[in-house]
Amino acid sequence: MQIITRTRRLILPGATVLLFLFLFIFSISYVSSQETPPGTIRVHVTLVPVDVRVTDLKGKPILDLRKEDFSVFENGVRQDVQHFSMQNFSTMSAEPERKLLLRKIPRAELTPQTSRTLLILFGRGRYQKPFKAVDALIHFVRNSLLPQDNVAVFAYNRATDFTTDHEKIAQVLERYKKIHEKIESQLEDRAKGLSAEYGSSEMPNFIQPEIDTIFEGPEAVASRRVSPAPVPNANERSQDSQRASNLALTKELTQMAPKTTDLISGPPLQKTGGRLEPDSLKVMDMTERGNLSPLSELGSALHTDLPFERYVSENAKTKQDAQNIFTSIEYLRYLSGEKHLMFFTENGLFLPKVKDDRDIASVANDARVSIDSFQTGGLFMEGKSGGVYLASSEGVPFNADPSYSRPPSGSSIQMGISFASSWALSSLRGISQWTGGQSFIHSSIPGSLAQMNEVSRSDYLMGYYPKNSNWDGHYRRITVKVSRPGVRVSYRHGYYAGETLEPYDREAFLKYSRIASAGGYEYPIKDLSFKVNIEADRSDPNNPQAKVNLLIDPSKVGFAVEKGMHKGEVEIALFYGDPRGHSVESKWDTLHMNLSEETYQKVLKEGIPFATQIPLQWSGQTVKVVVYNYDNDRIGSLMTKVK
């Protein structure tokens, strides 16, 4: 075996080891000023692409518009559209073995896409009973996608590769359908009361094998454990949800006590027995939501008539779902062209403030990700005040055809609705609206998927060079207007005007990004397993070393046979520092293997050995070991200490 070693040393004062590593991989956008990730180049955003979909009021695409029919504004200033083309995706032959291209360094012209890139994200919840949403999605993947469309699945903490082999994705969905309700039951039993709010959102060890089973089957598409992306304003959002949970508990205890005073303050609401009546609330649209003051935004989440246990449970699910939405955006960020994130949720997102919606939308817009949301957990019923939402657990299933949108207006069903549920659904509308996607609420899943499929098969691709040349990193709002009356316009609503990292070397970029992400993730990753032993060697008092010995599982490492030799490659990174994180350094090694048949067979039985050493600089020195194989895109990580 030939070992090529390269060492990078990086020191940062005043942070813990894990905190530093977390900051180190901030979406691969934060890097040391002394180092740029290999395979990338820093560029300013110059040509801004805008994908625009125009439909009539019935949702049918309008395909006969011209450049002159559009006006594009950035922060209120009209821009000169330099690029205009129509993208109308038609059936093409697929290339199953071709890896999805990374986003190219911006050029003077935009190249129209020939296929769609779709990531299916399942939020926490049950999706098969009673509405058979997973069955509808399986049918969509098998029968509605174009042969050249790239699709992947993300659930809990794992994601598949993007592939044009749609049957492999359908098999993942089949396994998800069989297993996910068991996983949900286990997660719900684990998180009760305040433990759901204050406890860890990390998947417990006894559930992880169930999740892995969804993604690992015979001839399965490659998948991996995905390290969580950073969440903007996470601490503020956590404090808001904790205050809401505490107030929900206080309210419930107060209502149970005799002759107590209502502690809920805010706008007057019509109440009957502790519930809100349909005359008081309805499913809000974004106009209502957008006009609320910041105080009312928080108050809307606090003034809930949901029982405490359910309210806390929904908040815990939202915490995990929001994390996975940001992680999905980063999973899609560096892929070429516009991408679609298809987010499935039972009851919406219980985010305390409109600002939380906009945080998601702004990050998605910057990554050129359109979010299509599908709410699956309830019915839309007509009440005296109009539309109201009923969670499926409180209602009965219905047999919906693809044209279903709501029950007849003459329905006499009357029921209450929680303010929090309305708020959660309006979050879906807002996020989809602000990212150029579609939102499907109280609709049949087959009909929703059919409409999403039809609308996303064509759009107008426009590009402009911003008149504001001050690249200060601030978010800039995009507005697109169409001169034709009676149409709906969907598009990305902004981007961050600053330096970005653009990959030009796929292999170097992915190696770095995968390793850095795993290095910043607090928990171990076992997709590529290994054993590690690190012992102190103080034989030279002037130069003490820590000897690192690894034994790597070869079953998840890709080998190619060339001229009778088995060739493979493994990247090994060591992040090490003192227990308090007063300084952190790293060493990156590449293990090149060129094995004879005899040695290869021995390695298969005994494992891949690797040995190196790092400076022993601190008492109780901590080491994070990351092992990565590019060919199979598998990674493993483990935190340990020097013995």
Choose the weakest-confidence range: 143-157, 206-220, 482-496, 594-608.
206-220
| pLDDT score of 273 more than 50 | no
β-strand pairing of 339-345 with 369-375:
parallel
Please state, in angstroms and rounded to a whole number, the distance separating the CA atoms of residues 318 and 197: 11
- Asked whether residue 215 is assigned to any structural domain, the reply reads no
Higher pLDDT, 344 or 297: 344
- In this structure, the answer to whether residues 552 and 622 fall within a common structural domain is yes
* 420 against 237, higher pLDDT: 420
- Please report the pLDDT score of residue 79 as a whole number: 97
Mark whether 594 and 627 lie in a shared domain. Answer: yes
CA-CA distance, 101 to 339, in Å (whole number)?
Answer: 12
For the ranges 164-168, 335-339, 580-584, which has the lowest average pLDDT? 580-584
List the domain range (segments joined by +) for residue 497: 40-89+457-504
* 533 lies in the same domain as 470: no
Q: Is 559 in the same domain as 636?
A: yes
Query: pLDDT tens digits, residue range 416-448?
Result: 456 778 888 889 999 999 999 999 998 889 999
Work out the pLDDT band at 262, boundaries 50, 70, 90: very low
Q: Alpha carbon of 194 to those of 199, 202, 243, 246: distances in Å?
A: 8, 16, 11, 9
Which segment, 9-23, 239-253, 309-323, 400-414, is predicted with the most confidence on average?
309-323
The model carries a pTM of 0.80
pLDDT of residue 374: 96
378-397 per-position pLDDT tens digit: 554 433 333 433 333 322 22
Domain contains 178: no
- Which long-range contacts (C-beta less than 8 Å, at least 24 apart) are formed by 405-414? 405/380, 405/442, 405/443, 405/447, 406/380, 406/381, 406/382, 406/442, 407/379, 407/380, 407/381, 407/382, 408/382, 409/382, 410/382, 411/381, 411/382, 413/381, 413/382, 413/383, 414/278, 414/383, 414/384
Mention every residue, 6+ apart, whose C-beta is less than 8 A from residue 384: 278, 279, 414
Q: Is the dihedral of CA 227, 229, 233, 238 positive or negative?
A: negative
Mean pLDDT over each residue of the chain, to the nearest integer: 78
What is the model's pLDDT at position 302? 46
Residue 189 lies in a domain: no
pLDDT tier for residue 290 given thresholds of 50, 70 and 90: very low
Residue with tokens 């990374």: 102
More confident residue, 45 or 179: 179
d(CA 518, CA 516): 5
Instruction: Determine the average pLDDT of the residues in 204-227.
Output: 89
CATH of residue 576: 2.60.40
Q: Are residues 44 and 10 in the same domain?
A: no
pLDDT value at position 80? 96
Statement to judge: residues 476 and 574 lie in one domain: no
**561 burial via Cβ count (<10 Å: 0-12, 13-18, 19+):** exposed
Is the pLDDT confidence value at 402 over 60?
no
Distance CA 573, CA 588 (A): 4
Query: Which residue, 474, 504, 534, sits at the end of a domain?
Result: 504
* Residue that wins the pLDDT comparison between 570 and 188: 570
Answer with the one of 504, 537, 565 that is the final residue of a domain.
504
Q: Are strands 339-345 and 117-122 parallel, antiparallel or unpaired?
A: parallel
Same domain, 499 and 585: no
Residue 366 has pLDDT above 60, yes or no: yes
What is the pLDDT, as a whole number, of residue 254? 61
**Does 211 reside within a domain?**
no
pLDDT tops 60 at residue 16: no
Rounded to 5°, angle at Cα 518 from 514 and 523? 155
Same domain, 575 and 531: yes
Task: Give a yes or no: residue 25 inside a domain.
Answer: yes
Instruction: Judge contact between 27 and 229, C-beta under 8 A.
Output: yes
Same domain, 584 and 526: yes
Quick check: is 181 in a domain? no
Share of the chain above pLDDT 70, in %: 72
- In-domain check, residue 95: no
State residue 278's pLDDT score: 32
Out of 445, 474, 504, a domain closes at 504
Average the pLDDT over 206-218 and give the result: 91
Do 526 and 621 lie in one domain? The reply is yes
8 plus 23 within the same structural domain? yes
What is the rounded average pLDDT of the residues 297-307? Answer: 51
Mean pLDDT within 9-29: 34
Do 576 and 485 belong to one domain? Answer: no
Looking at residues 66-79, what average pLDDT do you find?
A: 97
Of 496, 633, 611, 626, which is closest to residue 549 (Cα–Cα)?
611
Please state the domain count of the chain. 3
Q: What pLDDT, on a 0 to 100 scale, did the predictor assign at position 286?
A: 36
Is 427 inside a domain boundary?
no
Q: State yes or no: pLDDT of 77 exceeds 90.
A: yes
354 pLDDT above the threshold of 50: yes
